[in-house]
Structure 1
């Protein structure tokens, strides 16, 4: 008796999208547990800092002559995107290798580790696009935007988030313990970036000897891009430089993540 296989190898894009569909199926059930970190947290920051504390900050040279609410609104979107991207690229990635081991199950099919990684990045981008769009719409009600540049801020947030997600994914893919070193990542990288990369005040207020730490921060480059597209005041050549920095970080992170995925999943 002859058995005819009905299976077929799917293309690279379709294979990556299958991973996105799997993540979406999970997210539809558990989106409420992510509501605070992905949506409410940046909005609460906007209300507390932009309207609360911001009411005590007078418009001046530091804010480009704008209200403090308008000054921090673009940066808060980018900061939230960075935090969400890092969160999606630490424990969920490690779990795919170590605990749930769904990465091993997926790559037991014709889906390759590279396609799996592509699906991960696509899912992160969609998550950031969704949360950034919700934030932008609600912030509009507070008068946080000057013009339609807010639409571009959402995409700046997605790009910055991916630039942060790529090296963190490589970091997670090379983690074999219980993820203890993620605590150091959040404590000594993510939190300082949030506070000292120009989100809440210009980095010119930081002592010159320490200012280089902000310059090498992807969040500072994202903040500058976000303010440039919605508030202006950033030279075109500087905008190109910020984009180039983030693109280089994304490319390097994706390269090492790709190598780590293949090293761990191909026997």
Structure 2
């Protein structure tokens, strides 16, 4: 019940500001697909890329997974840090019967909901562009949620541990941006040097890209769907353990 009570706070707050996120949720995916799928994709398709599908159809699910990552990061850095250090919402929650673990779970569930909405919106845009070729595509929002939580949970722990929001710039520059560029979103990771491939395979985004791409194209994944899903679940579990520990240290010790 405590988890749902914490989630309710975020839902009530979001109800007041949801209109501001509509453009980013629906319009930006369409613009991104047009920019990458049609313009860049036209050049790629002319040169027989060997991707097994038009570049628009191939890059769409990758961008969907990347969008899930971006939404999760946006909701797991400054919002979490501010509730510890600036507006003290977590401390107010802890003054109630809510435990630190329930506070962390409630906020993580809200992030999962935000990622799911973004995933569904992106999937609808892909459908309008004719980039969906399998009924398995209905599972892509779930894959997006796994990707989002696989990054959000450890980022919660990071936000609970740092004493300055300046560390988030380091997180973006050294983790988020490289992961977005080299985890199979824009091109196959098989063409990367061996050390870079290892890093790509270790990233949660690559596993999410594989799941989303297989679902929308109706093809097999690189390592099998259950392996990719298992890796993402492991990231979520480990990240949640770290987040729970960090929240407990900040709110109960």
Note the C-alpha offset of 1:264.
Answer: 0.6
Q: Equivalent residue for 2:51?
A: 63
Distance 2:70 2:18 in 1: 17
> Which residue is 1:94 aligned to?
81
> 1-side partners of 2:32 and 2:97: how far apart?
44
Q: How far, CA to CA, are the matches of 1:218 and 1:235 in structure 2?
A: 14
Mapped to 1, the partners of 2:195 and 2:243 lie a distance apart of 32
Runs of 4+ with >6 A deviation: none
Q: Equivalent of 1:41, from 25, 28, 34?
A: 28
Equivalenced residue count is 252
Structure 2 equivalent of residue 50 of structure 1: 37
Give the TM-score of the pair, scaled to structure 1: 0.89
After TM superposition, give the deviation of residue 114 of structure 1 in Å. 0.7
- Which one of the candidate residues 163, 168, 187 is aligned to 1:182? 168
Residue in structure 1 matched with residue 252 of structure 2 by the alignment:
266
Out of 211, 224, 227, the position equivalent to 1:225 is 211
Counterpart secondary structure, 2:186: coil
- Deviation of 1:28 (Å): 2.0
Matching residue of 2:62: 75
Structure 1: gaps spanning 5 or more residues: 1-13
Distance 1:98 1:185, change over 3 A: same
Q: What is the SS of the residue equivalent to 2:45?
A: coil
Structure 1 distance, partners of 2:30, 2:248, is 39
| Cα-Cα RMSD | 1.7
Q: Pick one of 228, 233, 254 that aligns with 2:240.
A: 254
Matched residue SS, 1:57: helix
Q: Structure 2-normalised TM-score? A: 0.93
Deviation by residue 1:48-78 (Cα, 9 ceiling, x = unmatched): 10122112222856422x1111101111111
Matched-pair contact (CA < 8 Å) for 2:66–2:205? yes
| Other-structure match for 1:118 | 105
Measure, in 1, the Cα distance between the counterparts of 2:177 and 2:17.
Answer: 26
Go from structure 1 to structure 2 and tell me whether the alpha carbon gap of 1:192 and 1:235 turns closer, same or farther (over 3 Å shift). Answer: closer
**Secondary structure, counterpart of 2:224 in structure 1:** helix
More off after superposition, 125-134 vs 203-212? 203-212
Matched, 1:147 2:134: yes
Q: Is the 8 A contact 1:81 1:128 kept in 2?
A: yes
CA distance in 2, matches of 1:129, 1:244: 19
| Shift of residue 36, structure 1, vs aligned partner | 4.4
Deviation at 1:187, TM superposition (A): 1.3
Task: Check whether the contact 1:63–1:71 (CA below 8 A) recurs between aligned residues.
Answer: yes
**Offset at residue 235 of structure 1 (A):** 5.1
